[in-house]
Structure 1
Amino acid sequence: MKKTAKGAERTHDHDHCIEDALAAAEKLCADRNLRFTPLRRRVLELVWSGHKPVGAYALLNQLHDEDLGSAPPTVYRALDFLIEHGLIHRIERMNAFIGCSHPGEAHRGFFLICGECGDAEELHGNGLAETIIASASRRGFAARDMTLEVTGTCAGCRKS
């Protein structure tokens, strides 16, 4: 059992999340005839190393001692690839990245972000997207892309 920063107990096996994310990325890249380079793989693994969004420079610091190329443009290209193919999301509010919980599927990003511990959780909310699109349409606005970031306090921190 893991403890969070606030001391709340968790039974979550995060290594399983990382393994699933890497397996999904390998399958997606194979199906689409894309190169899943060692750097792309490692960046995805580092993004999935926690449920907290991670910034590009934090990734650069982690890659610094590894022989995979730690120049900012190289890491940003890997991040762009992972975003483009639905393997990660960018959390604008935090200028950070988080793993996608349903990679390769067309969907909108809706996130619950805990202001206490920094964890972020992706919501699955097609109904919410359709409500926003319909509301925008009634105003003559054609919605194209959307990401919703909701800040608050997660259940674990609320229990502490």
Structure 2
Amino acid sequence: MTDQNQVISPFLGDHDHSHCESQALEVALEQCRKKGLKLTKIRQQVLEIIWSQHNPIGAYDVLQQLQAQGHKPAPPTAYRALEFLVDAKLIHRIESLNAYIGCPSPESSHQCQFYICRECGHIAELNNSAVSDALSAGAADLGFRSQQPVIEVHGICRACQAD
């Protein structure tokens, strides 16, 4: 696998999710420091909630989990935190599901492809440069300037196909 074809996937076998979570927080803190962004307590808590699982989570579920932790945030507070995290490239918004998932490589290109299993809900993130290049070339042919194109593919993962 090259840097040009980066795969982030729970579909591919063994995965140490606790390491994944702690590494995501370290990367987020470093990225915010580099960019001069402030990762407030509520933003960090929202990030931790999103990274507590690999399946996408909706804004309402994030709000419920914040409340379960003893916070009383108004819905706009959670939405602002989610918007900040998306803008900072620390999480992705999965448009077709109206949900969010952690971004394992915020320093990389966000022209990616998501493969979403309809059975288990897991999502694999693939950054295939050939796909990204084809999208950019198509946009250029149209005189269109694309901004972080994302493709979402729904189907059934290998594990669910075997069940």
> Shorter-chain TM-score category?
0.7 to 0.9
What is the Cα-based RMSD across aligned positions, in Å? 1.8
1:64 aligns with 2:67: yes
Name the CA distance, whole Å, in 2 between partners of 1:142 and 1:32: 24
Offset at 1:12?
1.8
The corresponding residue for 1:22 is 25
1:94 aligns with 2:106: no
Residues 68 and 132 from structure 1, CA distance in 2 versus in 1: closer, same or farther, beyond 3 angstroms?
same
The corresponding residue for 1:135 is 138
Offset at 1:67?
4.1
Name the CA distance, whole Å, in 2 between partners of 1:94 and 1:140: 30
Higher alpha-carbon deviation: 44-53 or 88-97: 44-53
Equivalent in 77, 82, 89 of residue 80 of structure 2: 77
Name the CA distance, whole Å, in 2 between partners of 1:158 and 1:43: 33
1:32 aligns with 2:35: yes
1:112 aligns with 2:115: yes
- The one-letter amino acid paired with 2:160 is C
Residues 36 and 152 from structure 1, CA distance in 2 versus in 1: closer, same or farther, beyond 3 angstroms?
same
Residues 115 and 70 from structure 1, CA distance in 2 versus in 1: closer, same or farther, beyond 3 angstroms?
same
- The one-letter amino acid paired with 1:79 is L
Name the CA distance, whole Å, in 2 between partners of 1:28 and 1:140: 33
- The one-letter amino acid paired with 1:89 is H
| Larger RCO, structure (CA 8 Å, separation 6 or more) | 2
- The one-letter amino acid paired with 1:22 is L
Offset at 1:68?
4.2
Higher alpha-carbon deviation: 150-159 or 138-147: 138-147
1:45 aligns with 2:48: yes
The corresponding residue for 1:123 is 126
Offset at 1:85?
0.8
Paired residues in the alignment total 152
The corresponding residue for 1:147 is 150
Offset at 1:13?
1.5
TM-score, with structure 2 as normaliser: 0.85
Unaligned runs of 5+ in 1: 1-7
CA displacement, residues 54-82 of structure 1 (integer Å, 9 cap, x when unaligned):
00000111111334442111011111111
